[in-house]
Structure 1
């Protein structure tokens, strides 16, 4: 395969004889080789119908990075109807859910392709939806792409490499620029500013100075973008291999003030446990450490296979209750009493505003609420009852809570860090022993609802629910005590209830 560049000579280019660019070309050739037959076949079909076709965007960029893209994105001179006419007889399945934006999808064998008509999307600056206008040539389509590293293409079936805006040189320099002015690019779609943060995390690039300046200036315009699109970009950023630099850019550009204000609010808050760094830096470190504790992809659930969105969100947000709970104590100390409870409410509110699903909202809020529980363990003074509560309160989130709690130790005192780690090791041993002995995941009172009703002579209703909850508390506090002892405890409880002396629900 031969990749021939048609880069614009007016754009600054890296020396073609330098090491990075030839290596990138070699990687691209190797990684695109498996799909070359597919590319040439599709290119031939479109050419035979009188249309242009090019592989574009992420798949081209990833080929130069030595990565394989799961999907293949194409751009074409054909209209959506013409594209469908070409793909329908070729594909095993096709769909037109993106027809409004010029996109037709298809699948054949193990390949999924999306073909989009040359276009020029733009926002009108007031609404949340892009205005779609179809274009008539590849170069004009590429200039409306978000960044130069995504504005590279391969014309098909000739495999001619098209790079009019210097994307390959930027990729080699690990630099993120826009094909046109950043003000025009971000004006077309303000979400591209968040995408810049995501690419910093995913691709380990840095934004060009003019791009950073435009992000700072235009950050408020992210407000016209739907919460769902913001959520999706934030999720992709957090699931990147190294989210920290992307989150820094999100904060430093002012975008976080618009979409995740709880994060920049942490910068000035001094953490009473970690005086050497503010809570913002502490939270980023906790996120790094939580990522390091994730299990390998595809591992068992108890290993928390990475990347895990719930764990990463909880690590980032676990201390967001501190600004609202900060108190200056006599003697110069600082306290953040109940910040975990306040933080859980704030996390829930923010994630709901970003349209995260209910399970994610509930899980992250619960982890935030529980992240300090271990600090009451001391040197192991918890009773078995307290350990049982720790297990059951965490429920299926326990493996994530283990990792969040361990990650929350960012002290530079090696002796203190070792002591905390050893103490948590001991807690995990106790947890494992209790889980094995008592099957706490399935813990139930030693009398079921029907049996409780028979003992007390009551019907199903609120009183029966209270009685069930009481016996569950007994089970948690005392462990298995046997049916007779449970019944005796129930009768003793019942004697103290007002319903026991009246007609009740019998």
Structure 2
């Protein structure tokens, strides 16, 4: 749930916050406002920067709307800024950098989706009011005209922001019909800002959930990443599940709400998963402190194999055998459908597949060989695996939780000790391919790979060896493979 920082604000507090932020960014907004005004064009600070100014949040990326068309905007920005770019020209947007500031200026516009289209038709508008009316939520439909700093709030965004509620400027059905991705943005803003969502908006999201299917996988993916990396992803994810949107963009999540048997012989997997996600977030300082999508998404997906593997045993217990392996396959398939990169997909699915590995070693009776294999299999995801494994403990039994924590502390200590003694993060055989061929008097081929793999297993079991020890191990293996003449 939102913390104390998400309390309701007074209108006076909102006004004071925006005045303070506008004073801070005055060198940019006032100067640029005069440039456009002198050229006969309107310019207004819009959207997220206005909302965040009212929340007392600072950033150096500023969005503006203007009556000027892109060619005029580009000409004015080229004369004013240090560098410009026009990658958003098709949508009326020209970008600019001036010092440490990043500015994007977009021509007043209106965009409407065709019922069967994945892309908006963009038409330039002729008024700020019309531009604001096409925006997603009232808290994003506010503007500050510059250089005069006149606040334009035709849809009551200031009041909604003060009460931390998300509403659409017009009927939510119309807004979501124009751009169905706004339904996911509602969930994302709930997670980012800690806002509640107006009941009419929730009702429209529920009724129109299937409309999200016309949106490209890439745009859905980008919103999902922003939601998962938000301060309170549970709020947004719960809204996606509640409205049926999750069933269409991430069906593995609502599937975790397994029907409970009458004797409650297994925990609520859906609630457990959200708790694991929150605990993984609490452990992110181990990864550098910034929101880590791979770690968070692995926490969200770690048990997605359970619905397919749940079995009721005769003795009254419930099992989920191999849900880690099944879950990794499901994760790869979903991330591929959402057009995630190969690297992200591999990292998340590896974590899902390995999340039970720690529990396969009982109460911590880890041999050096087991530690080496744990590190090797985790590879560059070891630190994230530490986070996921620790976060996966949601038991209310404090004694059990303490025991698991101490056991994992012991494993990390073992890894640290072995790292001091060995090159644990890059374990390789004590002989390379050339040495293997020289000793066995063979050329390149399958046998070299088999020999290399055998020496790697020996290295895992016995630790580092001298070259002579490795040579004897290789010859013994080779003798056992080649029958004597």
* TM-score, scaled relative to structure 2: 0.96
Q: Which runs of 5+ in 2 are unaligned?
A: 1-7
Match of 1:54 in 2: 44
Cα offsets for 1:368-398 (capped at 9, x unmatched): 0000001112122221101110011111211
Structure 1 residue 269 displacement after superposition: 5.5
Match of 1:127 in 2: 117
How far, CA to CA, are the matches of 2:27 and 2:160 in structure 1? Answer: 29
Q: Which runs of 4+ in 1 moved over 4 A?
A: none
Cα offsets for 1:236-295 (capped at 9, x unmatched): 001111111111001111111011000000011569xx9574111000000000000011
Cα offsets for 1:161-216 (capped at 9, x unmatched): 00000001000111100001101111111000000000000010011000000000
Tell whether the 8 Å contact from 2:368 to 2:461 is kept in structure 1 after alignment.
yes
Match of 1:256 in 2: 246
Matched, 1:279 2:269: yes
Tell whether the 8 Å contact from 1:446 to 1:475 is kept in structure 2 after alignment.
yes
1:353-502 equivalence runs, <5 A: 353-497=337-481
How far, CA to CA, are the matches of 2:117 and 2:203 in structure 1? Answer: 24
Match of 1:333 in 2: 317
Structure 1 residue 448 displacement after superposition: 1.2
Match of 1:12 in 2: none
Give RMSD over aligned pairs: 1.6
How far, CA to CA, are the matches of 2:214 and 2:151 in structure 1? Answer: 35
Match of 1:193 in 2: 183
Match of 2:292 in 1: 308
Name which of 62, 65, 70 aligns with 1:75: 65
Structure 1 residue 496 displacement after superposition: 2.9
Name which of 193, 217, 229 aligns with 1:203: 193
Going from structure 1 to structure 2, the CA distance change for 1:245 and 1:501 (only over 3 Å counts) comes to farther
How far, CA to CA, are the matches of 1:175 and 1:276 in structure 2? Answer: 36
Q: SS of the counterpart of 1:114?
A: strand
How far, CA to CA, are the matches of 2:429 and 2:291 in structure 1? Answer: 37
Going from structure 1 to structure 2, the CA distance change for 1:501 and 1:91 (only over 3 Å counts) comes to farther
Match of 1:14 in 2: none
Structure 1 residue 441 displacement after superposition: 1.1
Matched, 1:163 2:147: no
Tell whether the 8 Å contact from 1:107 to 1:113 is kept in structure 2 after alignment.
yes
How far, CA to CA, are the matches of 1:451 and 1:334 in structure 2? Answer: 52
Structure 1 residue 305 displacement after superposition: 3.1
Structure 1 residue 37 displacement after superposition: 2.2
Aligned residues: 476
Cα offsets for 1:390-440 (capped at 9, x unmatched): 011111211111110010000011111111111111111111111111121
Q: Which moved more, 1:440-449 or 1:220-229?
A: 440-449
How far, CA to CA, are the matches of 1:80 and 1:287 in structure 2? Answer: 43
How far, CA to CA, are the matches of 2:484 and 2:171 in structure 1? Answer: 81
Match of 1:7 in 2: none
Tell whether the 8 Å contact from 2:265 to 2:318 is kept in structure 1 after alignment.
no
Q: SS of the counterpart of 1:89?
A: helix
Match of 2:100 in 1: 110
Name which of 193, 210, 224 aligns with 1:220: 210
How far, CA to CA, are the matches of 1:422 and 1:433 in structure 2? Answer: 16
Tell whether the 8 Å contact from 2:60 to 2:100 is kept in structure 1 after alignment.
no
Q: SS of the counterpart of 1:453?
A: helix
Match of 2:5 in 1: none
Tell whether the 8 Å contact from 1:328 to 1:335 is kept in structure 2 after alignment.
yes
Match of 1:175 in 2: 165
How far, CA to CA, are the matches of 2:43 and 2:333 in structure 1? Answer: 45
Match of 2:4 in 1: none
Match of 1:13 in 2: none
How far, CA to CA, are the matches of 1:205 and 1:163 in structure 2? Answer: 19
How far, CA to CA, are the matches of 2:133 and 2:265 in structure 1? Answer: 48
Matched, 1:349 2:339: no
* TM-score, scaled relative to structure 1: 0.92
Q: Which runs of 5+ in 1 are unaligned?
A: 1-17, 296-301
Q: SS of the counterpart of 1:161?
A: strand
Tell whether the 8 Å contact from 2:228 to 2:296 is kept in structure 1 after alignment.
yes
Match of 1:4 in 2: none
How far, CA to CA, are the matches of 1:176 and 1:455 in structure 2? Answer: 72
Match of 1:86 in 2: 76
Tell whether the 8 Å contact from 1:269 to 1:323 is kept in structure 2 after alignment.
no
How far, CA to CA, are the matches of 2:128 and 2:369 in structure 1? Answer: 68
How far, CA to CA, are the matches of 1:442 and 1:267 in structure 2? Answer: 41
Tell whether the 8 Å contact from 2:183 to 2:205 is kept in structure 1 after alignment.
yes
Q: SS of the counterpart of 1:165?
A: coil
Going from structure 1 to structure 2, the CA distance change for 1:116 and 1:424 (only over 3 Å counts) comes to same
Tell whether the 8 Å contact from 1:269 to 1:279 is kept in structure 2 after alignment.
no
